[in-house]
Amino acid sequence: MEPSSVATKPESLQAWLQYLEIIHPANIELGLARVQTVFQRLQLNFSQTKTILVGGTNGKGTTCRLLHDILLAQGFSVSSYNSPHLIDYTERVTVNAKHLSEQAHCEAFTAIEAARLDGDEITLTYFEMGTLAGLYLLAQVQADYTIIEVGLGGRLDATNIIEPDISVITTVDLDHTDWLGDTREKIGYEKAGIFRAEGRAVCGDLNPPKSVLAHAELLGCPISISQIDYSFQELEQSWRFTNSHYFFAELVKPAMPIQNAANVLQVLTELGIDLSEPALNKVFADFTLPGRWQTVANEPEVILDVGHNPQAAGYLAKQLNALLAANPDAKIYAVVGMLQDKNMAATLEQLSGIFEHWYIASIEGPRGTDSKESIHTVPNNEPASACCSIVDAFNQALSQAQQSDVVFAFGSFYVIADVMSALDIKLT
């Protein structure tokens, strides 16, 4: 298949995805000039929808999903773009809780391909093509609210070509350091690149880098900061939220970090959405997102989470220790695999002393890892096995676990996807 030949235009979604992998020599190329040019050629119009741009290190997916669920429950139409997907590419674009058809995605890719070849040919990465196709689909919908999850960083990420009504930073921590910098200050600057002059912003990080606050000040962008402009308190069975408009005394705990749930309530307040405790509690009680502290089987219990950096692992450690406190006789077996650009040693260190045994999985692909090498990242010489694949690691963990035990699979999205496939779990 020739990369720039319209005559060989793919006919199926799978063919399109294979095509996207060959039309650009790199998986990642930061910068907005190329994607901005194609976006302008498409003449996409987002003037009839309010757009929320969500960036940050951890919690973007759950933040986007909770925003979506609350707005939908309020009777608004809601569309969203998220990445990466777990099992099916169509997960990336959602309209009123429904995925669009493969044919719709093919039509979007056809439009993007025509635009990038209209004049001087523009090379686009897999992510850039996917982002433009997602924006193309969202622009056709013109929902009341459009939620867009930022990919890598913010300032130079392809999603940043959109002009948001409000920009959101969930948390800031060390991840993708080869691309974003090796300090929270450097990474914070990249994340704050989604702010706009005289726009609005919300930052849920409990200790935001000075670079985030300085960039907001430079732009004249009013920013609401967690535990300063709004606050939350986590109790044993519930949580509280307070800002200048609301005080909710007994909120149900959703299956996500409360820090990010509080962030969502502040964003909705900034957007002028009327909130009530009973309505919120109904959404919180039903909240779930595949691959985020998700229980997918019992006896033994199987829990999945895509946490893959030290900050995320710190949250998971609290969750797992609480699980052990409630079930002191249970043993937890870890299934984990991460890509090369992740700090696996620092991530696993956060979980030291929790697992009965670690099953380290090899991951195939250009950014994949060999379990025989990554097994050395297991902390303190704790019991561990190097496994040839994710499914092999999962099956070995299952063979050791008793009915009262827990198998906890985490790390790369590939780990969660392969475990779901092994269990024949379908996403609707």
Tens-digit pLDDT profile for residues 152-162: 888 988 999 99
Contact 92, 85 (CB under 8 A): yes
Q: Give me the pLDDT at residue 25, please.
A: 64
Give the residue-averaged pLDDT of 279-305: 94
**Rounded to an integer, what distance in angstroms lies between the CA atom of residue 197 and that of residue 264?**
22
3-state DSSP assignment of residue 295:
strand
Give the CA radius of gyration of the chain: 21
Contact 78, 142 (CB under 8 A): no
Q: Give me the pLDDT at residue 29, please.
A: 67
Q: Nearest to residue 150, comparing CAs of 225, 201, 83, 204?
A: 83
Contact 170, 205 (CB under 8 A): yes
Amino acid letter at 195? F
> How sure is the predictor about 300, in pLDDT bands with cuts at 50, 70 and 90?
very high
Q: Give me the pLDDT at residue 2, please.
A: 41
Give the residue-averaged pLDDT of 124-132: 93
Helix or strand holding residue 371 (H, E)? helix 371-374
C-alpha distances out from residue 216 to 139, 164, 196, 197, 203, Å: 28, 15, 8, 8, 10
**Rounded to an integer, what distance in angstroms lies between the CA atom of residue 289 and that of residue 187?**
26
Q: Give me the pLDDT at residue 181, please.
A: 75
Give the residue-averaged pLDDT of 98-125: 94
- CA distance from start to end of the chain: 32
Give backbone dihedrals phi and psi of 276, rounded to 5 degrees, phi first. -135, 150
C-alpha distances out from residue 410 to 42, 58, 359, 380, 420, Å: 39, 14, 11, 19, 12
Contact 79, 292 (CB under 8 A): no
**Rounded to an integer, what distance in angstroms lies between the CA atom of residue 307 and that of residue 347?**
9
Q: Give me the pLDDT at residue 5, please.
A: 43
C-alpha distances out from residue 224 to 263, 267, 337, Å: 9, 9, 36
**Rounded to an integer, what distance in angstroms lies between the CA atom of residue 420 and that of residue 359?**
17
List the strands of the sheet with 406-411, edge to edge.
294-297, 301-305, 406-411, 332-337, 357-361, 384-387
- Percent of the chain's residues with pLDDT above 70: 95
**Rounded to an integer, what distance in angstroms lies between the CA atom of residue 370 and that of residue 383?**
18
CATH homologous superfamily of 6-286: Mur-like, catalytic domain (3.40.1190.10)
Q: Exposed (0-12), middle (13-18) or buried (19+): which is 383, by Cβ within 10 Å? A: exposed
**Rounded to an integer, what distance in angstroms lies between the CA atom of residue 275 and that of residue 286?**
17
pTM of the model: 0.90
> How sure is the predictor about 206, in pLDDT bands with cuts at 50, 70 and 90?
very high
> What is the residue whose two structure tokens read 């392809």?
158
Q: Give me the pLDDT at residue 182, please.
A: 77
The four Cα atoms 389, 391, 394, 398 give a dihedral, to 10 degrees, of: -130
Q: How many CB atoms lie within 10 A of CB 428?
A: 5
Among 55-59, 245-249, 407-411, the least confident range: 55-59
Strand pairing of 50-55 and 357-361? unpaired
Query: Two tokens at 77?
Result: 């139409």
Tens-digit pLDDT profile for residues 67-85: 999 999 999 999 999 988 8
- Percent of the chain's residues with pLDDT above 90: 78
Asked whether the predicted pLDDT for residue 151 surpasses 70, the reply is yes
Query: Two tokens at 315?
Result: 């949250």
**Rounded to an integer, what distance in angstroms lies between the CA atom of residue 279 and that of residue 251?**
10
Give the residue-averaged pLDDT of 77-105: 94
**Rounded to an integer, what distance in angstroms lies between the CA atom of residue 69 and that of residue 286?**
10
Tens-digit pLDDT profile for residues 231-265: 999 998 999 999 999 999 999 999 999 999 999 99
**Average per-residue pLDDT in the chain?**
92
> How sure is the predictor about 176, in pLDDT bands with cuts at 50, 70 and 90?
low
Helix or strand holding residue 3 (H, E)? none
Q: Give me the pLDDT at residue 112, please.
A: 96
Who has greater pLDDT, 119 or 231? 231
Q: Give me the pLDDT at residue 428, please.
A: 57
Q: Nearest to residue 347, comparing CAs of 177, 181, 155?
A: 177
**Fold (topology level) of 294-422:** Protein-Tyrosine Phosphatase; Chain A (3.90.190)
Supply the DSSP string of 252-283, one letter for each residue.
PPPSS-HHHHHHHHHHHHHTT----HHHHHHH
Q: Nearest to residue 176, comparing CAs of 185, 166, 167, 187?
A: 187
Among 82-91, 263-272, 380-389, the least confident range: 82-91
Domains 6-286 and 294-422 share a fold: no
Q: What residue spans define the domains of the chain?
A: 6-286, 294-422
Query: Two tokens at 131?
Result: 């982002």
Give backbone dihedrals phi and psi of 105, rounded to 5 degrees, phi first. -65, -40
3-state DSSP assignment of residue 76:
coil
Tens-digit pLDDT profile for residues 307-361: 988 989 999 999 999 999 999 999 999 999 998 888 899 999 999 999 999 999 9
Strand pairing of 201-203 and 223-225? parallel
